[in-house]
Structure 1
Amino acid sequence: MGWLDGMLGNASTADKKEVGKELGSILINDEEIDVAFKLVRDLIVFTDKRLILVDKQGLTGKKIEYHSVPYKSISHFSIETAGHFDLDAELKIWVSSSSEPTIYKQFRKDKSIYDVQKVLAAVCM
């Protein structure tokens, strides 16, 4: 998975050092990044303490929303793989007792969604 996958909407593994520099102002002192996935301009970051979703907004990406979710708050999650006619795979995460998914991410192909799901399963057990 590389640059082209990222442009097409597929999650690619991001370099932990680069992500650490980018998130330096919001990480707490002893927090470490376990794995990060880049989805076009956005990031899905798993640390040893929480899930961080980075949503770069606008044309330049200067406006950034950081969505932080403690693992203990994730009640359940689901993935929906792509089909023959529906080419998008979907990740949905429910936080606490919400009846609707709080977090929703779309992937163009479903191969990388399995990697994200495996990490979620590991941290939520």
Structure 2
Amino acid sequence: MIDFNSTGFVKLSPWDGQQAFEELAGVLLPGEQVLLAFKGMRDSVTFTDRRLVALNVQGMTGKKKDYTSLPYSKIQAFSVETAGAWDRDSELELWFSGLGRVKFNFASGVDVRGLNVLVSERLL
């Protein structure tokens, strides 16, 4: 499992949903659909219609990969922080039952209000 306290998902930028689907093909359930995907240098987070999948690529070659499934049903609270004039990054924080806080930082230009709507639709 990814240690979200020491490893941050920083500067995530929009990622093509088809590429995310292909990367996660062995992990996704039959019929599970990719809704949104974001990728950093090597790591990614994908929002499906059932869960979030955080992918942590490890090692020098990148062959070792950690896939962490975060079900929407375990989210207890969430928060978004939009970009400002000086701080151009935006953030999504999720609090999971039994796991604690998970924080994703997005590159400038990512509108986290859309993520707020997506998470709201899954929870409320």
Please give the alpha-carbon distance, in whole angstroms, between the structure 2 residues aligned to 1:57 and 1:37: 17
What TM-score does the superposition give when structure 2 sets the normalisation length?
A: 0.72
SS at match of 2:111: helix
Q: Could you tell me which runs of 5 or more consecutive residues in structure 1 were left unpaired when the two chains were aligned.
A: 1-7
Identical columns (%):
34
The alignment yields a C-alpha RMSD, in angstroms, of 2.6
Aligned residue number for residue 39 of structure 1 = 40
Q: Does 1:106 align with 2:105?
A: yes
What TM-score does the superposition give when structure 1 sets the normalisation length?
A: 0.72
Moved beyond 6 Å, runs of 4+: none
Q: Does 1:66 align with 2:70?
A: no
Instruction: Identify the match of residue 9 of structure 1 among 8, 11, 25.
Output: 11
Q: How many residue pairs get matched? A: 115
CA contact (8 A) 1:10 1:109 kept: no
Shift of 1:121: 1.9
CA contact (8 A) 2:43 2:57 kept: yes
Shift of 1:75: 0.8
Shift of 1:59: 4.4
Q: Could you tell me which runs of 5 or more consecutive residues in structure 2 were left unpaired when the two chains were aligned.
A: 1-9
SS at match of 1:54: strand
